[in-house]
Structure 1
Amino acid sequence: MNQSNDAPLPLSVQLAATPSHEQLQSPLFTTLFPELRTIIFTIALTEYDDKTRPYSKHSWCYRPGFTHAGKISTGLLATCRRVYFEAGTHTAAVALNEHVFWMNRHPEDNGRRIEFMLPAFSEEQRAKIDSPNRHHNPRPSPRPTGSSANPHQPSSPGSPSAKSLTIRHSDWWYWEQHQPLRMDRPEKSWGAWIGSIPGIEVLELELETIDAKKAELEGIVRGAVGWRIPLNADGEEGEGWVLVHDGERPRESMWLGTSALAPPGNTRVLDKRTIQEDEEEEKRLDQAHPMDLKLHVRKIFFRRVRA
């Protein structure tokens, strides 16, 4: 038995100490092949849009891929021990889904920060994280005063091999004042954090801005294809490795957002709850703030290679 000052045993270890009921009365285990059960468990534990909790189109967080609160049917894991353990379903919810972290202006249903969330996972769960981490709204460069704007802490063990950084239109410094877009070269600031991530193989950098700054965004993208981000997290094994542009043409897309996001930004509207309050209020916002703001997105991919 653990001493009082020891860390508590993970739930999976505690449950494994008690024999599981075979559940032979259930067709789930007596009729279906294990492969079919695995498919069922995978579908149930994959995050999906909760249609009962749509995001307001006039909030900071609404954008393609983030139109509703996410939901995972974790209640499946509470049905019985055999379901919990079969096919690793107690780690599947962690392994199957993308993990999204918001640095600021996060939805009410997701205020997760990586430095708090990953340590809360068991070692077994961290080892199963294969889907990307997606970090929303890290600042692209330090303040002009020189104080660091990097909000990140070193990643915990079990960080996935793929990470994505998203900088939205409203994340650039002084976007409200129509200041030119600026993004430091990675070796000046944020690249050190990327390089400290153990086992990173792929970095997706997603940049977004309004139509009026499209040319500035293209200039940053052209410069980014020449970046080299040294990796230093894996000790001697990490020496001599860098992240470089994968050679593919950056992916381009455009979507129409709320006019409330046009500089200087209507904070009276944008600061309301991310989840829609009611349909009638959303209709009023639609009329007052048309969805006609062009937002251009560029995705650049970097891969690990020998320096």
Structure 2
Amino acid sequence: MRKLYSHPKSPTPADIVADIGTSAMNAIAKLEISSEHGARGKYNDQAGSPLFSALPRELRDLIWAFATAPYEDPKAKFENTAYYYRPGHTARLKTETAVLLTCRRVWLEANAFPMMQAEQSFYYYRGAPDGRDPEWMARLTKHNSQNLGELHLFIQMGTIERLAGPTWSLRDYFLIHRPVRGDFQPRVFRLTIRHTDWWSWENDAPLRLQDTWVKALLDAPELRSTPILKLELETLDYKADQLAVIVDRIKKLESAERSSHYVGDYPTMTRFELADEQDTSTWEGPTNIDGRVRQAYKDKATLTYHVVTLTWNLRFTSLPHASVPGLRRASVALSPDQNPLAVDENWGRAEGGLKFWYSAILPRRREPRMTEWTEGMKRYHFMLRFWTQVRWISRRQAELGEAVRRRQFEESCGAVLERRWAARWEAEKSLLKFVGHRIP
């Protein structure tokens, strides 16, 4: 059953939280996440408060977003000569969560916003005091992992170049445990190369960057749940021309297509597409970086930094104008069982006449280059190939049957679910409504 949702064109919390579009399904996802904690049904509906009785849910979400937005703590300023000092990181980032303690009704609606809006910064060398580490990521609850907002990686050129190697992945910079579904899905991923992260910056060497790790970043399977990818390159103003050459080269890199999401019951290809406009900014800092004045800067009063930010958006290749929300991830197909199959001595009397097929088909296939194949090796090779095909056919039939049964179930329960959501939105004074299908 296909349903369409309407929503007013006023700004939504998604614009503030992650800048990932104005889809009503994002609001639905937030409601569902909050309901997992078992507190729904155990709260006072606060009918006497105009906040809940008069304001619609969308406006309340804007209030929660503003109340829990992170800010730079004026009581925890950084030294302006530190390696990590820059706009947006001049002090520790702080989030106020007092609003969540007012009542259960507020907590149910707003508990995801602090994590969704926070910027979690990881530094590989010369990090700030509020930097995170893989141990911190390992301590996150499932709820916090699902609501992870912006993940910001500050990293030196020599360290990020490992990403292009065959034995290194993006998650290795953040996680110390084995992969678990849903443990790495930030809404925004930002990677920053600071002026002090380039090769031989102390000697004022020319800028150089390998394209291989940028291509590996665009193709990273870990980011196929991340709608926005940002690459921030920072250098000094008199090297802007060198940086422009590198940026033009990066813009020509194309993201590989991956089957990463389900639309309905069908896996769909996604890829990162470069935004039309790049963001360029400048800022000024002292010449005594880390308390020392380098030879190249001794004649300068201040250093002017030139920053270029490239943005990629995750898109469906078959739906180029649609943004990718948090849909179901495509499951990884299990590889066939590689355990040796026991060859029965009476295998010729097996069901289906395997001995006949063995004698009729195997001689026509090209055998591996070996000095000599024994009869037992031929039988084992055939049985392994035969049962692998049988398992694949059986698994595919089960998947198709499950898809049909799921579609039949959704069609039969569609009206019930529609009534349930309509009643919930009405109770929350929400502006969301069903269109294109009426409740009988």
Check the 8 A contact 1:260/1:289 in 2, yes or no.
no
SS at match of 1:255: strand
Aligned match of 2:19: none
Distance 1:32 1:64 in 2: 39
Report how far residue 46 of structure 1 moved.
1.3
Partner of residue 95, structure 1: 116
The residue aligned with 2:131 is: 111
What are the superposed Cα offsets for residues 126-168 of structure 1, whole Å, 9 maximum, x if unpaired?
3334x4322223536538xx99797625786251343211111
Distance 1:118 1:32, change over 3 A: farther
Q: Does residue 246 in structure 1 map to residue 275 in structure 2?
A: yes
What is the rounded CA distance, in whole Å, between the counterparts of 2:240 and 2:144 in structure 1? 41
Determine if the alignment matches structure 1 residue 120 to structure 2 residue 139.
yes
Task: Identify if the C-alpha distance between structure 1 residues 297 and 50 changes in structure 2 by more than 3 Å, giving closer, same or farther.
Answer: same
Q: Equivalent residue for 2:151?
A: 133
Tell me, yes or no, if structure 1 residue 295 matches structure 2 residue 313.
no
Distance in 2 separating the partners of 1:298 and 1:15: 45
- Selected match of 1:176 from 202, 210, 227: 202
SS at match of 1:298: strand
Work out whether 1:142 is the aligned partner of 2:165. no
1:205-252 CA distance string (max 9 Å, x none): 11000133222111111101101132548389888543242232x222
Tell me how far apart the structure 1 counterparts of residues 168 and 37 of structure 2 sit (CA, whole Å). Answer: 43
Give 1:170 deviation, angstroms.
0.6
CA distance in structure 2 between the aligned counterparts of 1:54 and 1:188, rounded to whole angstroms: 33
Structure 2 CA distance for partners of 1:106 and 1:12, relative to 1, 3 Å: farther
Contact in 2 for aligned 1:257/1:291 (Cα 8 Å): no
State the 4+ residue runs in structure 1 displaced beyond 6 angstroms.
Answer: 11-15, 146-151, 235-239, 288-291
Larger Cα-atom Rg: 2
In the alignment, what sits opposite 2:90? Answer: 67
- With 187-196 and 297-306 compared, the bigger mean Cα shift is at 187-196
What is the match of residue 67 of structure 2? 44
Going from structure 1 to structure 2, the CA distance change for 1:121 and 1:258 (only over 3 Å counts) comes to same
Rate the CA distance shift 1:183–1:177 in 2: closer, same or farther, 3 A: same
- What amino acid maps onto 1:224 in structure 2? I
Change (3 A) 1:38 1:187: closer
Q: Out of 47-56 and 293-302, give the one that drifted further.
A: 47-56
Residue 169 of structure 1, CA deviation: 0.3
Task: Report the CA distance shift for 1:200/1:54 in structure 2 as closer, same or farther (over 3 A).
Answer: same
State the shift of 1:82 in Å: 4.1
Q: Unaligned stretches of 5+ in structure 2?
A: 1-33, 319-440
Q: Distance in 1 between matches of 2:45 and 2:314?
A: 47
C-alpha change, 1:54 and 1:38, in structure 2 (3 Å) is same
Please point out which of 233, 239, 250 is paired with 1:207.
233
CA deviation profile, 1:173-221 (whole Å, cap 9, x unmatched):
2211222222211457742773432323332111000133222111111
Question: Which residue type is aligned with residue 279 of structure 2?
Answer: R
Q: Which residue does the alignment assign to 2:192?
A: 166
Question: Paired residue for 1:277?
Answer: none
Partners of 2:71 and 2:65 lie apart in 1 by 12
What is the Cα-based RMSD across aligned positions, in Å? 4.0
AA in 1 matched with 2:157: R
Q: What SS class does the counterpart of residue 245 from structure 2 fall into? A: helix
Instruction: Describe the superposition over 1:24-64 as per-residue Cα deviations: whole angstroms up to 9, x where unpaired.
Output: 7xxxx733322476554333211122122222211111111
- Evaluate the alpha carbon distance shift between residue 231 and residue 182 of structure 1 in structure 2; reply closer, same or farther with a 3 A threshold: farther
- Indicate how the Cα distance of structure 1 residues 174 and 44 shifts in structure 2: closer, same or farther if over 3 A, else same: same
How far has the Cα of 1:96 moved from its partner? 2.9
Q: Is the 8 A contact 1:259 1:289 kept in 2?
A: no
Give the secondary structure class of the aligned counterpart of 1:50: strand
> Could you tell me how far apart the structure 1 residues matched to 2:200 and 2:38 are?
52
Count of residue correspondences: 263
Under a length normalisation based on structure 2, what TM-score does the superposition of the two structures give? 0.50
Contact 2:260 2:269 in 1 (8 A): no
Deviation at 1:94, TM superposition (A): 1.1
Q: CA–CA distance in 2 between the matches of 1:193 and 1:152? A: 16
Aligned residues with identical type, % of pairs: 24
Change (3 A) 1:33 1:291: farther
Cα distance between partner residues in 1 of 2:273 and 2:62: 36
